[in-house]
Structure 1
Amino acid sequence: MKVLILNILLLFSIASLAVTQTDDLEKALKALKEKDFNAAKVLIEQIITKNSFDAGGYYALAVYYADNDNKPHDYYKSLDYLTLAEKYYSTLTTKELTNLQKLGVTLLEMQKLKQTIGQQAVQDAIASQNPTAIDKVISKFSTLPNVVEKAIEYKNAMAFEEAKRVNTYQAFQNFYIKYPSAKQVPEAKNKYEQLLYENLTSAQSWQAYQKFYTSYPNSPYAEKAKKQYEKLYYEQNVASSTSANTIEKYLTENPNSIYSQKAKNQLQSMSSLFPIRVGDTWGFINGNGQIAIPPIYERVGNFSEGLARVRKHGKWGIINTKGKEIVPPVYELIRDFSEGVTAVIQRKKKVLEAFYIDSTGKQLFAKTYVTDGSYWPIHSFQEGLAIVEDPETHKIGFINKKGEFVVAPLFNSYVPRKGTIGTYPFSSFSEGYAWVKNEEGTGLIDKNGVFLIKGSYTQSLLDTLSAPPFYYKSFSDGMCLLEESNSSFYIDRNAKKAITIPVGFTALPFSDEVAWTYSKYDKKFYLIDNKGKTILDIPAFKVYPFHEDRAVIQKDAPANRVYFYDQTPDPTYSFIDKAGRSLFDFKFDIPHDPLFEYSSFKNGLACIILNGKQTYINKEGKIVWQSPERWN
């Protein structure tokens, strides 16, 4: 009986304590809401003193330290007390849980409070700009992803700003290694690559660039470094070299260099031979300006395919680059070699016969073509076919190297002009098409003789385009110029109008991927690209086509002369590039000779008349060779 009474008294005491604790907690929470932190603190301490496992008391203590208006607020203490509150909350009886829930003390509220203090803690840490404070937030609130994510994001940002402040490739490399998930990693890697490139190539030597791209082949700057290496190496070791061995070694070691073609051209220029006149005789120099074949000939042509025509005792023959006679001088006329074949004219009794020979001097096929000497009845091979005039119909067609007509002779032949050299109203094949004319009109045919386009077309035959005898022009750089009813336009190989030239303009065929047009309105020449875009306009008296990125222009008309034979030609010509810049600080005249259609660069050299003398210059404008006497 006594034990029963004691148990009843104990239960009554516990119940009484629970009621007291709940009342105190309610008062404490009310005091916290009213910002009476002192009263709340006293009540909370009483609760925890009476019961060190009181979940409600620890919750209230967490609220106490979480409030920003409370001077000793401490988010980390608040978090610690919340942790205890959650721990002891799980041990409460149903009745105890009910009492706490009536006061708004629930696990959900505890989680909300944890989120709140986490956000406040990270904001304070960010405001302090203290990495240690940021690390503490990340460590303490590891169960709150949104809080940790924000803290980590700011920590990464702080670290990245520090890397930018140091601004070395090592700093950015350390950043992306230490913070691999940071959103700044791509930018850090870009900065690392940039600064690594700038640092390791600061010497700006070809050696530095070579070392970079070989050491860091996967760098986004590797290709840039390689291009810089190739440029500098070529400029410093190859461009000015006069040694064929040096250039050949460069080509062997750098077969895919973007400058390999320049080196090949340079080597070709060195191995190419150029016609010169000394007194009344002609010979050849090499690309270095050295006499390669002595001037012992009456006239010479240009070397083509390793062979050149030369004249002795009034007759033409053929020599090779060593000066060895391949074909004796027995012909009245010879043309330059093309595709291993050349056309010749030979006198047989009182008749002039034209036929083809190969590079050994052997006649290509038995058939010959009679001419009166005023024009060529046969023409050079291009793309496997050559134009010949049918002796019976006097129409032209296209033959193969067996002498067989591949395209029937149905087109107009030579058109003489009164008092001057006439016109050949056709062209050889170029880019698969040839220009022809018949009674139905003019146009372009393919190698089956099928018209790509046909109409009342013409072409400009300005003296800036070509020298006599005049030929029409087929495709060049994928474009063919046509004129019809005072309008000019270019077509592509699908016969579509690619570029239309404004009315009042004259156009010239494409050369070196650009073309000149001329406006009669403002007297200017306009240079266009293959899209028809004007890339240059200049006032000039005369312009010539571009070759090897250079063109000859005559800015002003030459002075009127009383006696042409006793005056040196006016040096009124100059070279320009495609930006219109004058390339050299001298002006010159051009050779007025049938062998030179116009002065232009070929294989790296150009022939001009400088100070009255035949002169070869290179692309830097330096004199490679100059005749000892004046050109008359």
Structure 2
Amino acid sequence: MNENLFQVTKDGKSGFINDKGQVVIDLVFDGVSSFSEGLARIFVGDKVGFIDTKGNIKVQPKFDTVSEFSEGMAYATTGDKYGYIDTAGNFVIEPKFYRCWGFENGYALVMQEVVSTGCFIDKFGAIKLNGRNFLVSKYSEGLINCSDNGDWGFIDINGNFIIPPTYKYTREFSEGKAAVAPKKIDGKANRKDLYAFINKENEIIIPPLFTGADIHFSDGMCAVYDNGYGYINANGQLVIPCDFYLGQHFSEGLAVVKPNGKGKTYGYVDKTGAMTINPTFTLAESFKNGLASVTTGKKYEEFKRGYIDKSGNYVWEPTR
């Protein structure tokens, strides 16, 4: 299944190119999104449907809102309630939720009402976990970060605390590590909200030296903050100094950064901290399948979007 297709817009119409910049799905839609599990959203007027990687319509544009597919399901609306559809566009969980998120490992976070604290459902729509505030929780790598009377730890999908709620804050697991803010550091209150990293045995493997920034590892690196953004490696070593105004996560060996100073543009650094693509873009996204989406223009009305390769060369010149 080839999903190395990239959405583009020109003269107000959208379609897809390949990684060589060649149009492979004609620009005939009012909007499109990236492919996920072989399907991409298409916008026709104010309705949304799906096409496959050949450009064939697989789900007619009939939804008001719909997400990308995750584990064969996408949340969708045809009114003011959310439910979940299958890849044929049929509701398999009827619209009854105020808000939904994507499935991960067989479960999804939903809000039942506007004042709901959130709960996890299975693929039949049955509630698996409820009774806690899950709205800032994430089910990742088999564990859910959540609070218990204001203290944070990690539970499994059955609601059992696997890592006791002894922390000030916790973030989700990524690459086997999770950022946690201890209540105390060296016997003193952690007033600066410094984060450490633990493993799934609740062992601190990276001490609390930095405030929260990227909060998760990707490509073996994590953005951290200390009067500027820098990066640590999987051993907790600061390998890229905190010299950037903004630093995003690594993907395919490169990270989007905004240098300190008066400049307001973005570029890309490699894992040594070298600026491999100069900061000339108004907006920049992470690399995916060898290309990255970048935006040029000083005002929103002037914004144009294109794609660059890892040498910083355009494979699709900015258009709108």
1:368 alignment partner in structure 2? 95
The reply on whether 1:449 has 2:170 as its aligned counterpart is no
Matched with 1:576 is 269
- Bigger mean CA offset, 382-391 vs 355-364: 382-391
Contact 1:588 1:608 in 2 (8 A): no
Q: Say whether the 8 Å CA contact 2:97–2:112 is kept in structure 1.
A: no
Q: Contact 1:389–1:409 at 8 Å: present in 2 too?
A: no
1:495 maps onto 2:183 in alignment: no
Query: What is the alpha-carbon distance in structure 2 between the residues aligned to residue 289 and residue 557 of structure 1?
Result: 34
- State the AA in 2 paired with 1:579: T
Please name the residue that 1:279 is paired with. 11
Answer 1 or 2: which has greater strand percent: 2
Distance 1:276 1:438 in 2: 45
d(CA) in 2 for partners of 1:456 and 1:581?
Answer: 36
Q: CA deviation at 1:303?
A: 0.8
Q: Secondary structure at the match of 1:588?
A: strand
1:550 equivalent among 254, 263, 272: 254
List per-residue Cα deviations over 1:8-49 (Å, max 9, x = no partner): xxxxxxxxxxxxxxxxxxxxxxxxxxxxxxxxxxxxxxxxxx
Q: Structure 2: which amino acid aligns with 1:368?
A: P
Distance between the aligned counterparts of 1:295 and 1:399, measured in 2? 38
What is the Cα deviation at residue 392 of structure 1?
10
State how far apart, in whole Å, the 2-side matches of 1:392 and 1:587 are. 41
Q: Write the distance in 1 (CA, Å) between the matches of 2:252 and 2:101.
A: 26
Relative distance call for 1:391 and 1:516 in structure 2 (3 A) is closer
TM-score normalised by the chain length of structure 1:
0.45
Tell me which structure has the larger Cα radius of gyration.
1
Give the fraction of aligned pairs with identical amino acids, expressed as a percent. 29
The two structures, once aligned, show a CA RMSD in angstroms of 2.4
Deviation (angstroms), 1:281: 2.2
| Counterparts of residues 68-83 of structure 1 (less than 5 Å) | none
Task: Determine if the alignment matches structure 1 residue 607 to structure 2 residue 283.
Answer: no
Measure, in 2, the Cα distance between the counterparts of 1:323 and 1:616: 20
CA contact (8 A) 2:145 2:153 kept: yes
| Preserved CA contact (<8 Å) 2:181 2:208 | no
2:312 to 621, 626, 629: 621
CA distance in 2, matches of 1:574, 1:291: 26
The answer for the alignment partner of 2:281 in structure 1 is: 589
**Within 5 Å, which residues of 2 pair with 1:37-186?**
none
Relative to 1, partners in 2 of residues 1:370 and 1:384: Cα closer, same or farther, differing over 3 Å? closer
Quick one: distance in 2 between partners of 1:279 and 1:272?
Answer: 23
CA offsets 1:194-237 (integer angstroms, 9 cap, x no match): xxxxxxxxxxxxxxxxxxxxxxxxxxxxxxxxxxxxxxxxxxxx
Per chain length, whose mean CA-contact separation is higher, i.e. which structure has more relative contact order (CA < 8 Å, sep 6+)?
2
Deviation, structure 1 residue 557: 4.6
CA contact (8 A) 1:590 1:599 kept: no
TM superposition shift of 1:357: 0.6
1:394 corresponds to which residue?
116
> Which residue, 143, 153, 156 being the options, matches 1:433?
143
Deviation at 1:550, TM superposition (A): 0.3
| 1:553, distance to aligned residue in structure 2 (A) | 1.0
Structure 1 stretches of 5 or more lacking a match? 1-266, 414-423, 460-472, 560-569, 592-597
1:515 aligns with 2:226: no
Aligned counterpart, 2:185? none
Task: Please give the secondary structure, in 1, of the residue aligned with 2:279.
Answer: coil
Residues in 2 aligned to 1:323 and 1:558: alpha-carbon distance in whole angstroms: 44
Match of 1:311 in 2: 43
Q: How many angstroms does 1:409 deviate by?
A: 1.2
* Distance across 1 between alignment mates of 2:70 and 2:179: 24
| Aligned equivalents of 2:49, 2:262: Cα separation in 1 | 38
The whole-number CA distance in structure 1 between the counterparts of 2:36 and 2:282 is 22
Higher helix share: 1
Q: Matches of 1:336 and 1:385 in 2, distance apart?
A: 16
Match of 2:239 in 1: 535
Per-residue CA shift, 1:507-554, capped at 9, x if unaligned? 4321111112111xxx34332112112222141111111001101111
Specify which of 155, 164, 179 is matched with residue 481 of structure 1. Answer: 179
Output the CA distance in 2 between the equivalents of 1:315 and 1:439.
Answer: 43
Residue type matched to 1:483 in 2? A
Could you tell me which runs of 5 or more consecutive residues in structure 2 were left unpaired when the two chains were aligned: 183-189, 298-302
Equivalent of residue 410 in structure 1, options 108, 112, 131: 131
TM-score, normalization: structure 2?
0.86
8 Å Cα contact 1:516/1:528 also seen in 2: yes
Partner of 2:186: none
- Alignment partners' CA distance in 1, 2:247 and 2:58: 38
Partner residue in 1 for 2:87: 359
| Matching residue's letter, 1:399 | I
